[in-house]
Every structure is written in structure tokens, then in C-alpha cells.
Structure 1
């Protein structure tokens, strides 16, 4: 094991601090097959203690080849992420490298193992379950860490830019543009009774209140509730905004409009029907629901249900990205809601993630100052780059969806 790996906190990051046991590999040949597969990629891979491999492209520097190839052979793309967290490899163009791995994932899987898994990630552990409560992950990112890369709106979701490439000083305006577009879609104006599911840090609720709406916003994060309340108070909008620590399923009443930004992904697929039925119950006749959600292609959904991808393991344990088709099937099958409009803007998410990652990199010293270890810094760097690669490649999209209400449910 390399000295870099040995420095990882074994209690907090057990699967990063230690290498997978050799017995977990089908044979030693699996590791060699991955080695040869990487050598056929459009990458330049510089191996410590050996020559370069690959066919050209973004440069990847592997400090501990044995650890790297064992992790990838055992854990696929999840192992790739854990190897990065352990400091076993680096890349100046991290997004470029991850895009190559994502694009060629199927060819890296040692056969017949890859056919059994379907993608280059281990299967979800038998005891792993999504969470019964919406957005209740065991790792609720501290506000101090999030503030290192978010803009002053503290919006942790895709912005909407006027053009590319975007610049750091334009990010806050782009977040307001995204929020305004969603509020316009929901028809929010003076006198609107608005429900927001998932408060975030309060920017959308404040923006809606400035239009004259009366806003109830609910969250399960106490730190988000506290900061959102403070921001609402500082904006002088306490008479228009109520921030509750509450499960959205326990909300009562009827609302003219409901908005929710990137909330569905945190629920887990088994909770999607209840989520949309709750929206149906809470929406007044003639009301409008405006959602923003990340999406994946529908044909990838079956495989994603059973795999234990890196993001699910470290960032969103209970999460699952929906597809447009899945949303439409659930909505039309068990509610009186109907899809009315949908607009995708995936490239804007890629730009948002790029700006976040650049800002986070620039403030690397502050990560340690706030008490976060090096593995946490590398985890978030990898997450931001991996997500950006997904949106740049078109493997992921982000949608704003309008649902309107018919008279009766099916």
C-alpha cells in the first residue's frame, strides 16, 4: 500500500484506506485485463516506475499502479473514484479523463463478469436500502464546505446562463435566472400560495416572496432551516416566508403552486409514486407544479437500480436519477397531474459544475482550515468533475418540468 493510501483516516473512509482483498477478484488475470484495457483507451497514462500507456489524450498520472489496477478490477468506476480519493492518481484535466472512462466503461469490465453486472460498478450490497424520508442522507454536507464553492445565492443546483463559456462573476445572476424561469413556469406572482419542497439555503423562497407570494418551504436539514430563516429575516421577508423542519408528506393544505428543485433524485425510486401523489393532494385545482430534476436516459434506468455507483456510495446513498419516461409513467398512472412542458439544459449544468470545481480548487487551503481532511477534499473534487463529465457527454441532463392538474385522478 502506498504512503498516500496509508494516510487516509481508516475509521471514516474504510474502503479508501485499504485495498480490496485479492480474493474478491475472480482471478489475478482480471487485474491484468484492466491494465491492458486502460492501455487501449484514448488517454496518456503515466505509470510510476514504468513507461506510459494509452493511445493519446488527457494525461493521467498513476502514482501507485498496483493499487489503482486492483481497485478498478474489483470495483470498476467506484474503485476508480476510491483510488482518486486515496491519492493514487492525478489528472490536470480530470473531467477529460473521467469522460474517457465513462465512455469506455463497458470495454473495461473483465468478461464474463461485466455481462453479469451490466456496468462497471459493483452491485448494490444486499443490506443497502434507500431512505424512507426524503433527502435524509447520512452525510449532510456542512454549510461551511458548500460555501467554499457556491456563489452568494448558495444555490446547490444547476444555473441557467446566457452563453458559454460562463465566468465566475456571472454565476449568481445565472442562478437567479434559473429560479425566475421556474417561478414563471409555476405562475408565481403577487398573492400566490406557494409550497416549496426542499428549502436548500432559502434563495428560491426569498425570490418568490419578493414577487409577493406567500411561501411555505419545508426541509429535513436543521442547518438548512437555520440558515434559510436567517437569510429570510435579513431580507425582511419573515411575514411572507415560513421555513419548517418537516417531512413533505406531512404538509397540510392546498397550494396554488408547488416548486421543487432537484429533490426527486434524493428520494429513491420506490418513493417516486408517493412523491407525485403528495404533490397531487397538495395542489389546488387549476394549480401548477414546476420541478427541476436531473435525468438519465430511460434505457440506463434498469442497470442503475442494482449497481452501487461511486456517487450513490459517497454522495447520495438513497438517491436515484429518474428518466423523463419514468416521471411521465408515474404521473399519468397514479395522479391527476399531467406533464405540460419540459425543457432540458444539461450543458448549463456542466458549466455550473465547472465553476464550482474551479472555485473549490482555488480555495483548497480553506478546506483544511475548516477542519475537513484531504480525503474529503478529493472526494468533492472527484464528484464535481465526474458530474461535469456526465453532463458534457450527454449521459445526464437536467430538466424543468411543468405539471398541471386535471379534475380527477385515474
Structure 2
């Protein structure tokens, strides 16, 4: 190997990485302390150079294609764990610094989500067959961060607790009009409809909407939910409450003002909104190249400074902010374990390359919430300062009421 050792000598400080080249020669990097030992084989002469110049993207693509494999009991989880605890060493390399400057230069282009393109970007991820997602999500098919009362809670318990936590923050009354921007497979809309409100739920993913309608009908609340295949910018009317879960990550930093401006436009007098999304505690950055190319095209996890700067420009009050730090790590860990258990069925349904891609994705994001800067935030937003109760005790009180057996 000619190129890769220059990078790995600076990169691997914790743990140990053994790289077996195409010629069978083993190269070891790292002390073996404070981390796992990973044995990786390069099955292609070109990988030495390709990994040196773009390790984050090429390692994923090479694993998907079988050009990069793991041996001696090592796995892609071990490899990405090693990467996650050594990420600062990678970022310090001059070639990687230049690469990141290039990504930042094209940041706004990468996150361009005008009408039409926004829908195509979302559909590329969410319009896989519902049967695929059913294999590894909870029974309600909730594909967003759960809310764990304790780390030991089951995924089912934590997702039900998340629905209850959000409903408590919305402070609903029977007959209210609620808009849900980005409705997934309908679990939240169904939960809220059962509380006696009417929900207008919008989504741009056709498969999700079809499945949502089936679920709402089975739950007996289809008459209280109106589903639309529609971009958030196309929604009209006014609503007492607006809720958006796991949607803002798809907006793109260029469109934050448009997104929050739409929320402001849709709020009825005295109403407020609850926004739940992934953020980062670090300064503004870019989307990792593998995630951007294969998983969430057009997606971006914003720094909180970018979120609040947009809210300042739009003129919305942030009445409450809660940061969920490890909850998504626990959530994705459940998803990954479920996925691994169902992997043969995924391969039969979607193919080996897709299974490897999804495996790489789930492991990468799980560890991003454990060792990286990612977290989840929940905001309550209003047009006037006192539209949201000024004492937040109402959230806990309502959450306990909803959790009562006779609720």
C-alpha cells in the first residue's frame, strides 16, 4: 500500500486497525488500547488510493460492493466504532481538511430543495416497500427518535412515550385543528385523532401515505384525519396547532426561513407549533458524503445557531426548547439489532448490496449519536409571547394524565 498508511498513521490513535492489502500483506495501525481491534481486507488494488482521498464515502461504497470486507470476527460495526472514536485524527489530515472545505463550498447546492426536487429527495428514502420498514421498526412503524423513560425501556414503550410527550406539549383540546408536516406512517396523526382533534397530515412519500390511510382506517379515526400528498409550502388554511417530527432535516439550510415562515403563516391566533428534529451541538457543518449520496439527498442536520438565526429573521417566539441527547442512540440501536435479526429477509426482499448499504447507514448514525455531535431538539414556537403557557409544568401534568390507565 502506497497512500493509505499516510492517513491511517495519523488517524488511528485508539484501538487497532489491521489492513490486509490485495497482496496479502498485513499492515497494523494503532496501539490496540482503548478501542476494538478490526481486521479489514482490501479486495481491489484501487482502494489504497481511493480510500486515502475520500475515506468516508469510499469505505461505504467499497463495503456495499464487496471490495472491502472484514475478517477474524470483525464487523462493519467494529470498523465504524473505531472510526467514531478516532474521528478527530481523520479531520486533522490536510487532505481531509481540503475535502471538507470543498463540501462546505457546495453546501447550499447540496441542500437545494425547491418544490418538486424536495419530493423526489424524500421519496428516494421513504418510498421503499412498507414491508421493508415493518421488518425492523416498532409495530406502529415510527421512523423517528423515541423517548426513553429509562434506557432499559423497550422500543414499543419508548415510541408510545414519544407520542404522549408530544401530545402533552401540544396541550390539545377536543375539536382543535392540527396540521402535521411530514406525517410518516401515520402513528402520530392517529394518536392525536384519538384525543378528539382533527388532523391535516401532509407527506410527499406516496407509499407512506397509502400505508397511513390503511392504519388510520384500522384504528377507526380516518374520519378525523385528512391526508394530503403535498409539500409543506403548499399547505393552506390556519391551524390551532402545528406539529412536525423528523421533517426539518429534509428542508435544507437555504429553506429554513421558508419553512418557519410557513409555520408562522399557518398558525391561527393563539396557536403554537411543536418542531422535533435532529440537530448538532457543534458549529454549522455539512452532510457526510455517504448519507448525502445514498440515504438522505438534500438532507442536513443543522447547528442550533442556524435554527435560531432563522427564527429570529422570521419573527417566531421560541417558547420552549428541550434537547434529547442519548434518546436517538438508544432508538437506532434497537433498529440496528432488529435489522441484523431480519437481515436474510432484507436480502431476499431488497438484495445484498441494499442490505449492506442500510447496515452501514444504521451503524453510522447510531454511533453518530453516541460519539458524534448529533442530538434531537424539540421546540415550541408561537407568534405571540404568551400563546404557550409561561410555566412548563403543563407538559408534565398532561403527560401524566395521558399515561393514566383511564386516559
Q: Which residue of 1 aligns with 2:80?
A: 98
Equivalent residue for 1:177? 161
Cα distance per residue 1:78-100 (max 9 Å; x no partner): 22222222231337464453243
Match of 1:152 among 114, 117, 139: 139
CA distance, structure 1, for counterparts of residue 191 and residue 74 of structure 2: 38
CA distance in 2, matches of 1:378, 1:318: 22
**Correspondence 1:47 to 2:25:** no
| Runs (5+) with no aligned partner, structure 2 | 386-407
What SS does the aligned partner of 1:293 have? strand
Match in the other structure for 2:251:
267
Q: Does 1:221 align with 2:208?
A: no
Report the Cα distance in structure 2 between the residues aligned to 1:129 and 1:348, rounded to whole angstroms: 26
Are the structure 2 counterparts of residues 70 and 126 from structure 1 closer, same or farther at C-alpha, using a change threshold of 3 Å?
farther
Kindly indicate whether residue 113 of structure 2 is the aligned counterpart of residue 131 of structure 1: yes
Per the alignment, in what secondary structure is the counterpart of residue 312 of structure 2?
helix
- Looking at structure 1, the residues matched to 218 and 60 of structure 2 have their Cα atoms a distance apart, in angstroms, of 40
Q: Contact 2:15–2:82 (CA<8 Å) still a contact in 1?
A: yes
- Does 1:403 find its partner at 2:388? no
Asked if the contact 1:195–1:259 (Cα under 8 Å) also holds between the matched residues in 2, the reply is yes
* Counterpart-to-counterpart distance in 2, 1:51 and 1:121: 33
Moved more, 397-406 or 205-214: 397-406
SS, match of residue 98 in structure 1: helix
Whether the 8 Å CA contact 1:198–1:263 is kept in 2: the answer is yes
Change (3 A) 1:51 1:113: closer
Further displaced range: 127-136 or 70-79: 127-136
Q: 2:389 is matched with which residue?
A: none
Q: How well do the aligned residues superpose, as a CA RMSD in angstroms?
A: 2.7
Alpha carbons of structure 1 residues 201 and 174: separation in structure 2 relative to 1, 3 Å: same
Residue 45 to residue 349, structure 1, CA distance change in 2 (3 Å): same
Superposed CA deviations along residues 109-143 of structure 1, whole A, max 9, x for unmatched, are 68533332347979759975622134531623412
Given the superposition, is the C-alpha separation of residues 31 and 281 from structure 1 closer, same or farther in structure 2, using an over 3 Å criterion?
same
**Change in 2 beyond 3 A, CA 1:238/1:74:** same
Q: TM-score of the superposition, structure 2-length normalised? A: 0.83
Q: 1:103 offset after TM fit, Å?
A: 4.2
**How many residues of Structure 1 are paired with residues of Structure 2 in the alignment?**
372
Q: Does 1:365 align with 2:344?
A: yes
Structure 1 segments (4+ residues) deviating >6 Å = 119-123
Q: 1:287 aligns with which of 261, 264, 271?
A: 271
How high is the TM-score relative to the length of structure 1?
Answer: 0.83
Q: Is 1:193 aligned with 2:177?
A: yes
Give how far 1:39 is off.
Answer: 5.3
Distance 2:157 2:231 in 1: 31
